[in-house]
Homo-oligomer: A and B are copies of this chain.
């Protein structure tokens, strides 16, 4: 990224020869993302992050369509719910598709809930809280057979596990840079060729007319580099993460007095995301093991993503208070996990 702040400070599309090098770097980055996504580079639009990508997909697809009905999974992130709530103010009807206790969306329900005026379905590729991988392909096939566009927020999956948008068959797929070691403030949207999509901000036509304004060149270059890195190592990294995760679960089961419950354990899950129910309230953990950086639900109004997801899979408020989410990263070591297990076990010792 460094050269694009200093020597190559031009913007693509400018007239001078120096701008050409910048255009090439941008297109190279786009190709890196396209390769990891399994699409053509002209199907990749750079955005300022996953939130903007979700907004662009949802509001951009429905922009010029008559008011109608939208389905979304009950497990979606705020950046999907936000634009959907915006749509309700414009007269759209939005309706959540429930999921089972296994944290996976019910495909039969999707089929039942589609109406003649349903124009869009939103289904994340995987859940950020419990890690469950969603049946995007099956839902895409159902949607397409009924003339419904499918948007998939893949920010939790892209760069962490192999993903092929042509297999996934979603019409739009959101990508977030900082979720797989790319720079913050970077993201992209896969837009299937031929899909009608309008920009949601306006100005100089850039990014195939879908996103105006000077490109964040270092950010795009960094995102492309992260994609190329993930392309090389995400399979190995995912295997290693799954192994470490399973070892952690085993250790927690053995060492935590009272035992633990892994949420949605039977479902296919992300290798790095783990939601665990402890024998007692997590406040105990936050008091005695402050050096642990874990997530716990914030049920204050509006409830956070974790609270919403736990409710959707049927956990009670009491159970939610005992739940923590752990994320592993490429740099997480077995030693760190052993230490974390010890800290958690100690917190619940003598309960």
**A79 an interface residue at 8 Å Cβ cutoff?**
yes
Collect the chain B residues with CB atoms within 8 Å of residue A178's CB: 9, 214
The distance in angstroms between the C-alpha atoms of A284 and B50, with both chains bound, is 46
Q: Is the CB of A52 within 8 A of B213?
A: yes
Residues on B with C-beta less than 8 A from A212 are 51, 78-79, 82
Stretch at the interface among A196-204, A240-248, A336-344: A196-204
The answer for the CA separation of A290 and B214 in the assembled complex, in Å, is 24
A135 proximal to B (CB < 8 A): no
Residues of B within 8 A of A257 (CB): none
Chain copies in complex? 2
Q: How large is the interface on A (under 10, 10 to 19, 20 to 34, 35 or more residues)?
A: 35 or more
Which chain B residue lies CB-closest to A48?
B48
Q: Is the interface of A mostly helix, strand, loop or mixed?
A: loop
Q: How far is the CA of A15 from the CA of B283 in the complex (A)?
A: 12
The answer to whether A217 and B184 have CB atoms under 8 Å apart is yes
Which residues of B have CB within 8 Å of A85?
202
Q: Mark A80-91, 1 if CB is under 8 A from B, else 0.
A: 111101100000
Is A103 among interface residues, defined by CB-CB distance under 8 A? no
Q: Which residues of B contact A295 (CB under 8 A)?
A: 14-15
Chain B proximity mask over A201-218: 1 for CB below 8 Å, otherwise 0: 111100000001111111
Q: Interface centre among A50, A202, A296, by most B CB within 10 Å?
A: A202
Closest to A290 in B: B17
CB pair B5 A203 closer than 8 Å: no
Contact B293 A16 (CB under 8 A): yes
A4 CB–B CB distance under 8 Å: yes
